[in-house]
Amino acid sequence: MSGSLEIERKFLVVGDSYKRMASSSSRIMQGYICSERGRTVRVRLRGGRGFLTIKGPSADGGLSRYEFEKEITPAEAGQLFALCEPGAIDKTRWLVPCGAHTFEVDEFHGCNEGLVVAEVELSSASEQFEKPAFVGREVTGDRRFYNSSLTKRPFTAWGAAERAEAQCPGRG
């Protein structure tokens, strides 16, 4: 069980070189019991393990927010999925070491097929980090790319221009 301030930056991904660079990958299924602005309660199954996560409101333009996470049994996660709002996230998470950090690259499936984003957790908002070649435009704080938003307005429902911008972003 842990609760702390989560500081992370999020980027669109260019190409698929992250797959060759990854140290591991796992499939993630997640749903939201609550996805109100300012608070989310998420249920997740990842690699046969269950998790319940509560996140507070974003601060610093989406850069940081309080996060509490507790491991639960897969059976408990399955029961809690029944309480989730409509829409679910199905993705493969690739862990990609780069310098002193590990990027979490999420390749979405299902209704969010075609979207790939990378996040890096930092110890402070001003912490410097090495950007791998696959890191494109920064989307930290852009609510369209929040997983909770993608359950309500999936990537495949975006307009063609908006999808193209997310799939072929310029470097940031």
Nearest to 108 by CA among 99, 119, 117, 100: 117
Round to whole Å and give the CA distance between 44 and 88: 10
- SS3 assignment, position 138: strand
What DSSP line would sit under 24-74, residue for residue? EEEEEEEEEEE--TT-EEEEEEETTEEEEEEE---BGGGTEEEEEEEEE-H
Contact at 8 Å (CB) between 86 and 34?
A: no
Token digits for 51?
């998790």
Q: Which are the catalytic amino acids? A: 32
